[in-house]
Structure 1
Amino acid sequence: MSTETEVGTAPTALDDGTPGSTIPDTRARPQDRTTAAPTAPPRPAAPARPAAPTAPAQPGPRTNWLVPLLVLVVGMFMSVLDISIVNVAISTMQNDFGATTDQIQWVSTSYSLAEGVIVPASAWLGARLGLGRTYTFAMVGFAIFSAFCGLAWDINSMIAFRILQAIPGGVIPVVALSMLYKIVPRKSMGAAMGIYGLGIVFAPAIGPTLGGYLVEYVDWRLIFFINVPVAVLGVIGAVFLLPRFRPEPGTKFDLPGFLAIAVGLFSLLLALSEGPKWGWTSYPTLILLTLGVLSLALFVVVELEVDQPMLDVRVFGTWAFSNSLILISIVSVGLFGVLFYIPVYLQQFQNMGAFDTGLLLLPQALVMAVIMPVAGQIYDRIGAKWPAAIGLTIVALTTWDLAGLTPDTPHGKLELILAVRAAGIGLAMMPIMTGGLSALPSDRSSMGSAFNTVVQRASSAIGLAAMTALMTVQQAQESADRSGLMSSSGSASSSASGASASSGGSSAGSAMLEQYQAYQHLQSQVFITGLNDLLIATAILTACAVPLALMLRGGKPPAEDGPRVIEG
């Protein structure tokens, strides 16, 4: 049986069909149907007998939202952690499977593409099956396919299992965020999102440390097997601790809208992922980009026409929500771009191992773990505007400072900059997200959650692909310029090296070694110069987001709670 309760209020005396109804019980009771004779003196009123219950009493609303929230954090943490932790094991998997560079990249690319397709359908799936059931099924599926990834025997099986793993992995964040907005009172939303954000931001930051240890000292397959016990605990918690939400069996599946957005996101992600290899002006890249843009435009048209849209694009009519999505995109691009390229810089040009690299990046993860709950408390007191603006300013300044990397940058300095930068991200991220979602009506929170997840996933993947493309162009130009200088200087010494070669083979070998060392130095300088240019561009982009952050709502958020629809 289903009951409708509002978090933080007493159970209603009578359910009149309206969520959270508190209408007093005025139904006629049997003793009221017989009236006394007109001549009889009035008798003292007898105590009213309670109406016979029509169903077993249901539990009151859940005022303790922290325990269900922690269950959601487990699932969110696991699904996001898997994205960053796999990057550490890519080279080891390539050696074990004997795969080429192009083949091994599909371990990550296939996951992003499959997730981009399934995320738009997650809101419908949660409504059709019920959010709690969908979350539980997704956790079970993620555990099963994670185990399959750990058992993969070649590169093709790994790619196939990663695609299957991405299906529940894309459902978990959408459903979890939708449940959060139905469990937590609005007056506590900032604190709740601060805790929930540990799965969104802290998981990618801790991924290199955990993955580096498993890859270097244990076995890379454990990065997948570790999901199984975590998922088992999450499923047990979901079954016993999460409230059950009523499904909406009448919800129709918007097939035209799903196909349009799935084709659009798939085409854009594939074009940006393979563009550096195919060439940005090649026919496959241009066709995919055109198809992606046209499909997304068609998706908007379809969603405005159908009665039950898969994702209601009308939520973009709320500027506070649209603004928050723009800011989330900018933060996600900077976060995942730095998390991808800094480990490459440390391992390839400072000769650090995977675990040592993870340890150097650990302080920023710890800072985020501390700052994000605090940022949630700040949001509950002063709103989203100032935490977001101050946080983005910190991110812009520290990213600009980070753009001075050299092959000999001290590790202590790098740790400090990354930790302060992480504090800015932790301060800004959750107030931005919470402020945007809180601006939507409660009946559109699921749609907002779905769009939020789509934007986070798509912006991080598209942003990383765009940053890689920019790096490729910068490196090619820098390499051409420096090679020209080297060739001009090398021609002057070629006659001398030729003369010394006639005097003995050792001199020729020494000359070849010098040329190799010069080439290695050239590649190092080209990569670091390109990375610094990329960081400068990221800093400028983040600085441009500060005025948008100042448009967010300030002041203490409204304390009234929306209805919470929970199954009994």
Structure 2
Amino acid sequence: MTKSLDGELARPDTAVDDRGPGDARPAPPRSAPPPPPAPESPAAPPATGWGVPLAVLITGMFMSVLDLSIVNVAIPSIRRDLGASIESVQWISTAYSLTEGVMVPASAWLGARFGLKRLYVALIVLFTIASLLCALSTGLTALIGFRILQAIPGGVLPVTCMTILFRIVPKEKLGAAMGMYGLGIVVAPGIGPTLGGYLVEHTSWQVIFLINVPVGILGAIAAAIWLTKFPAEPGRPFDFIGFGFIAASLFSLLLALEEGDNWGWGDYRTVMLFLGAAVFMALFIVVELHVEHPVLDIRVFRHWPFVNSLLLISTMSIGLFAVLFYVPSFLQDAQGWTPLNTGITLLPQALAMALLMPFAGVLYDKVGARWPAAIGLALVGSGILLLSRINVDITRGELILGMVVMATGMALGMMPIMTGGLSVLPPAITDSGSAVNTLMQRVSSALGLAMMTALVQENSAQFMADRSSLMEPGANTELTQMQQQGTEGMLPLFQEVSGQVQAAAYSSGFFIAGSLTLIGVVLALFLRSGKPAAGAEKPMAH
């Protein structure tokens, strides 16, 4: 290091003026100091500086996910109050699912363009306003329209929350943070039927939307105060062509999965939607490989640990949502339970997940993802196989046991699998990884339910035919007439046989779902093991 004329230390790479007082030589050119390199990640935040922001994120995530399961319980009440048909009222859920899926791919760009904190606050405010409008709706058309408005922030919130989490939490603490964050992802669907059943039975369906209003207001205020502000990239262009193709693909796929049960899986509308989804997805991939700023960076699929985590998450999602959908349906249709009693039966498995999921996050920070994931998948598969023994005379204790075993495995495995997959991605594509992860959960749950529904319908038809053939000649025709006319006489017998058929069909579906989950244990053994390295770089803040 040398002294310059002004007494400051000159940089080694800067030209030094060595002329004397009478030296007429021209001054050597002074090279400009090199610009500091753009950091790939912000400095790691203090270990104690992310607890309150994480609580804010959990609140927003819990509210958006809870809305999915709690609304389904209220569908019959909404139908009665608004005088709607079964086919029409189902669009309350279908329109939400379609819009939510279409919005997920745009999440990464929105976060970069407007800044993650600003976007999160705006999403919470919009979700709250849409919830209030849903509660004030007096007609089905208006309610469906406001549900679409509600789904716009509902689709973007999960990706935004996860991206912020990966920005603010040190890598060595990601497991603990994701364990807490998982309360919004997994526990909310479990507690939704219980809360929804209570509210519908003791108040009105409007309350299931109104409860979002105070939570949303407090959540927006808390986010404005405690969330870290991330710089935006106002000049980042939007990939309209890529977004158009992925949106069309997701819309076609989700609509086919939602309506295939009603239209028929061989119906030309269903087949054309599946074909369109495949064609649009192929076009999307071609576009994303040639644009400078893709709406979703498909380079995430170059990383096997991330792809492996997607496969495992899909397997667990199929089992979880199959149980959450079919067990309540069985309890109310075959055993005649009220929505509230049905929700109470589902409550223990939600409590098991709430208690164990933070522990699983801490376990990930100590031993990595492999063993929590393997043990978790084994328990999930075993729990679903226990539920495959379902029959019309099954006790509440037997159902609770199967669901609690499944929930224990879900709590141990889900967040370690997700964290292990996302943590291997380079910082620049973590936001795309979060979006792909969310998409995979949505699509796999819809695909799993569609496959289970098709299987249940096929098995139900076969089981009903087998049982009808054992009755006296003409009994089958009489049973059908009793079902259509709702008359007494043989109707109790028909209901008993229908319950047995339904249970047998569900049993077959649960057996397949449980077996597939157990196969996933093999893939879990390929996940990384050992304590995650501390101090690794995190993505650029947006």
Global fold match (TM > 0.5): yes
Local SS of the residue matching 2:490: helix
**Structure 1 equivalent of residue 68 of structure 2:** 83
Going from structure 1 to structure 2, the CA distance change for 1:397 and 1:247 (only over 3 Å counts) comes to same
Matched, 1:241 2:216: no
Pairing partner for 1:531 from 506, 513, 524: 506
**Structure 2 equivalent of residue 346 of structure 1:** 331
Local SS of the residue matching 1:352: coil
Matched, 1:521 2:506: no
Going from structure 1 to structure 2, the CA distance change for 1:250 and 1:529 (only over 3 Å counts) comes to same
Pairing partner for 1:333 from 312, 318, 321: 318
Contact 1:113 1:269 in 2 (8 A): yes
- Listed one character per residue, the Cα deviations across residues 212-255 of structure 1 (whole Å, up to 9, x for unaligned) are 11000111111111111111111111100000111112211111
Contact 2:245 2:281 in 1 (8 A): yes
Pairing partner for 2:434 from 449, 459, 483: 449
Distance 2:230 2:181 in 1: 19
Query: What is the Cα deviation at residue 477 of structure 1?
Result: 2.1
What pairs up with 1:493-504 in 2 under 5 angstroms?
Answer: none
Pairing partner for 2:106 from 93, 116, 121: 121
Query: What is the Cα deviation at residue 289 of structure 1?
Result: 0.7
**Structure 2 equivalent of residue 196 of structure 1:** 181
Pairing partner for 2:342 from 357, 371, 377: 357
Going from structure 1 to structure 2, the CA distance change for 1:228 and 1:30 (only over 3 Å counts) comes to farther
Contact 1:71 1:238 in 2 (8 A): yes
Normalising by structure 1, we get a TM-score of 0.85
Contact 2:369 2:528 in 1 (8 A): yes
Going from structure 1 to structure 2, the CA distance change for 1:305 and 1:421 (only over 3 Å counts) comes to same
Going from structure 1 to structure 2, the CA distance change for 1:28 and 1:207 (only over 3 Å counts) comes to farther
Distance 1:139 1:103 in 2: 28
- Listed one character per residue, the Cα deviations across residues 411-432 of structure 1 (whole Å, up to 9, x for unaligned) are 1222122112100000000000
Query: What is the Cα deviation at residue 32 of structure 1?
Result: 2.7
Contact 1:246 1:565 in 2 (8 A): no
Distance 2:414 2:44 in 1: 33
Pairing partner for 2:529 from 554, 558, 561: 554
Count of residues in correspondence between the two structures: 507
Query: What is the Cα deviation at residue 440 of structure 1?
Result: 0.5
Matched, 1:133 2:118: yes
Query: What is the Cα deviation at residue 481 of structure 1?
Result: 2.4
Contact 2:45 2:169 in 1 (8 A): no
- Listed one character per residue, the Cα deviations across residues 340-393 of structure 1 (whole Å, up to 9, x for unaligned) are 111111112222211111111111111101111000011001100010000100
Moved more, 74-83 or 452-461: 452-461
Contact 1:111 1:162 in 2 (8 A): yes
Distance 2:101 2:467 in 1: 40
What pairs up with 1:65-214 in 2 under 5 angstroms?
Answer: 65-214=50-199
**Structure 2 equivalent of residue 9 of structure 1:** none
- Listed one character per residue, the Cα deviations across residues 100-148 of structure 1 (whole Å, up to 9, x for unaligned) are 1111111111111001111111111111000111111000000000111
Name the Cα RMSD after superposition.
2.5
What pairs up with 1:272-283 in 2 under 5 angstroms?
Answer: 272-283=257-268
Going from structure 1 to structure 2, the CA distance change for 1:563 and 1:318 (only over 3 Å counts) comes to closer
Distance 2:329 2:384 in 1: 17
Distance 1:27 1:187 in 2: 44
Normalising by structure 2, we get a TM-score of 0.89
Contact 1:257 1:302 in 2 (8 A): yes
Contact 1:112 1:461 in 2 (8 A): no
Going from structure 1 to structure 2, the CA distance change for 1:491 and 1:362 (only over 3 Å counts) comes to closer
Moved more, 266-275 or 483-492: 483-492
Query: What is the Cα deviation at residue 526 of structure 1?
Result: 1.4
Going from structure 1 to structure 2, the CA distance change for 1:350 and 1:242 (only over 3 Å counts) comes to same
Contact 1:243 1:566 in 2 (8 A): no
Q: Match of 2:382, as an amino acid?
A: L
Distance 1:413 1:156 in 2: 42
Going from structure 1 to structure 2, the CA distance change for 1:33 and 1:477 (only over 3 Å counts) comes to closer
What pairs up with 1:303-452 in 2 under 5 angstroms?
Answer: 303-452=288-437
Distance 2:69 2:230 in 1: 31
Going from structure 1 to structure 2, the CA distance change for 1:140 and 1:522 (only over 3 Å counts) comes to same
Local SS of the residue matching 2:205: coil
Distance 1:434 1:224 in 2: 31
- Listed one character per residue, the Cα deviations across residues 418-464 of structure 1 (whole Å, up to 9, x for unaligned) are 11210000000000000000010122111111111111112112222
Pick the structure with greater CA Rg.
1
Pairing partner for 2:8 from 32, 37, 56: 32
Distance 1:222 1:210 in 2: 11
Contact 1:129 1:248 in 2 (8 A): yes
Query: What is the Cα deviation at residue 557 of structure 1?
Result: 1.0
Distance 1:215 1:443 in 2: 45
**Structure 1 equivalent of residue 276 of structure 2:** 291
Query: What is the Cα deviation at residue 307 of structure 1?
Result: 0.8
Contact 2:73 2:339 in 1 (8 A): yes
Query: What is the Cα deviation at residue 466 of structure 1?
Result: 2.2
Identical positions, percent = 51
Distance 1:231 1:540 in 2: 40
Distance 1:380 1:60 in 2: 17
Query: What is the Cα deviation at residue 563 of structure 1?
Result: 4.5
Query: What is the Cα deviation at residue 177 of structure 1?
Result: 0.4
Pairing partner for 1:231 from 205, 216, 219: 216
Going from structure 1 to structure 2, the CA distance change for 1:522 and 1:239 (only over 3 Å counts) comes to same
Distance 2:89 2:477 in 1: 42
- Listed one character per residue, the Cα deviations across residues 260-307 of structure 1 (whole Å, up to 9, x for unaligned) are 111111101111111122121111111111001111111111111111
Going from structure 1 to structure 2, the CA distance change for 1:33 and 1:452 (only over 3 Å counts) comes to closer
Distance 1:389 1:404 in 2: 24
Distance 1:486 1:198 in 2: 50
Pairing partner for 1:470 from 443, 449, 455: 455
Runs of 4+ in 1 over 3 A off after TM superposition: 25-31, 58-63, 487-494, 563-567
Query: What is the Cα deviation at residue 475 of structure 1?
Result: 1.4
Contact 2:45 2:170 in 1 (8 A): no
Consecutive unaligned residues in structure 1, runs of 5 or more = 1-24, 39-57, 495-511
Going from structure 1 to structure 2, the CA distance change for 1:413 and 1:29 (only over 3 Å counts) comes to farther
Consecutive unaligned residues in structure 2, runs of 5 or more = 11-16, 21-41, 480-486
Going from structure 1 to structure 2, the CA distance change for 1:31 and 1:526 (only over 3 Å counts) comes to same
Q: Match of 1:479, as an amino acid?
A: M
Distance 2:502 2:443 in 1: 26
Local SS of the residue matching 1:305: coil
Going from structure 1 to structure 2, the CA distance change for 1:522 and 1:134 (only over 3 Å counts) comes to same
Distance 1:209 1:455 in 2: 26
Distance 2:515 2:473 in 1: 36
Local SS of the residue matching 1:428: helix
Contact 1:245 1:565 in 2 (8 A): no
Q: Match of 1:236, as an amino acid?
A: I
Distance 1:245 1:350 in 2: 53
